[in-house]
A and B are shown apart, each in its own frame.
Chain A
Amino acid sequence: MWQAISGDALHIRFWNDEFVVYNSLSGDTHLLGASAAHILLKLQHTASDVATLAASLASLMQAEMDDEFLSQTEQLLAGLGKLALIEHS
């Protein structure tokens, strides 16, 4: 299960389909595309597991929910985790 880090720490703005996120805990600023942002925003709302997130993302991107897609969702989550934007709950 994943969740976003404390809501107070994340500051988000977007223009068109791209998001800039400032993490006041790390002091880092990130540029996120639509899928990473979608995941982050969802996780800010509720903790979720990979499968749920992948399904939601597949729906957003109108893509086939196959193993490949699931694996890529996992990679995306790992990436966000590495940047300390999300964590395991």
Chain B
Amino acid sequence: MNVSALTHSELGFRLGKAGIFIQTGSFITHLQTSIPGVAEGIGLLYADYPLLEQADFADFHVSLAPPRNLRRWFKPQVLFFFDGHPPFKPLPLDQAFPMFEWGLNWCVSSQANRYLIIHAAVVEKGGHAAILPAPPGSGKSTLCAALVNRGWRLLSDELALVRVSDGKIVPLPRPVSLKNESIDIIQQYEPDAVLSRKVSDTMKGTVAHMKVPAESIARAAETCRAAWVIFPKYQAGAAARLEALPQARAFMRVADNAFNYSLLGVKGFEAMAGLIDASLCYDFTYSVLDEAIETFAVLKPPAI
């Protein structure tokens, strides 16, 4: 059964007590919290995610709660706990749901060493995945959100997981994070997209999260292989342009965007080499979303 099977008050009740176990891609997250903002976000954006009733195992045990100090009374805050310990300083209570999302990304990026983890979005169509690595500010998330609303399956908007054992990409479909202007852009581009409420004054500016299309969640167990590595760059006024990137260069740039490339040693090198070997690599500049969608629609996978 999915999270949507619970009523709003049942969800809030369970979260506040023993918590709930949600299947997010190949990870099971156990979440416990009494904070209403988090319950709202879960109810809205995680409605289609499987809820595990009898779970005795979770990959991550997380909770969100106000810190136990005087602050809770005049300037309420929230702490994110992982296995009972808070890895971050508290944030204003208003940011509790984004904090859950950031915290969960942190969990995945620092704990999952069976994967080469790249800071990138991953979308798939026709059995072929496009990895979009990108430093902040490149427009990756906006592009990803748009693609996902135009027929591409979402595997991840933030963390590309390349399984070291076989090089396959393992999905981790989670709400797509949008910042500042992107929020309005996507809302206009796809009026039917479901967005959480905007949360302002965070470290990243104003943020909101977009609900993942149900199909992407339903297919979360379906792995696939990369066919393209595309570095997006939003540039105001630019016409959509794909420029072939030599593979060895792409290798270095993707490695630079990977969280645990160094940590994995030779296995990281080999996983990266396998990824690059199988992919056509490009730099992609764009300004108009429709043009970007068009370009992606005619991408050809590498000849086998």
Contact = CB atoms under 8 A, between A and B. Distances in A.
Interface of A: 11, 13-16, 18-20, 22, 24, 27, 29, 31
Contacts of B248: 14-16, 18-20, 31
A66 B35 CA distance: 75
Given A18-B246, A20-B269, A27-B265, 13 more contacts: A11-B270, A13-B251, A13-B273, A13-B277, A14-B248, A15-B246, A15-B248, A15-B277, A16-B248, A20-B248, A20-B251, A24-B265, A31-B252
Report which residue of A15, A18, A27 has the largest number of chain B beta carbons within 10 angstroms of its beta carbon.
A15
In the A-B complex, the 10 residue pairs with the smallest Cβ-Cβ separation, listed nearest first, are A18-B248, A15-B247, A22-B269, A13-B273, A20-B251, A31-B252, A15-B248, A20-B248, A24-B266, A11-B269
A11 B266 contact: yes
Interface in B253-300: 255, 261-262, 265-266, 269-270, 273, 276-277
Contact of A22 (B246, B247, B266): B266
Contact of B251 (A11, A27, A31): A31
Contacts of A29: 252, 255, 261, 269
A15 B270 contact: no
B278 to A, nearest CB: 12
A89 to B, nearest CB: 25
A19 B277 CA distance: 12
A20 B273 contact: yes
Contacts of A14: 248
Nearest to A32: B248
Contacts of A20: 248, 251-252, 269, 273
B249 interface: yes
18 contacts: A11-B269, A13-B251, A13-B277, A15-B247, A15-B276, A15-B277, A18-B246, A18-B247, A18-B248, A18-B249, A20-B252, A20-B269, A22-B266, A27-B262, A27-B265, A29-B252, A29-B261, A29-B269
Nearest to B270: A11
A25 B265 CA distance: 10
A18 B269 CA distance: 16
Contacts of B246: 15-16, 18
Nearest to A24: B266
B231 to A, nearest CB: 16
Nearest to B253: A31
A6 B282 CA distance: 35
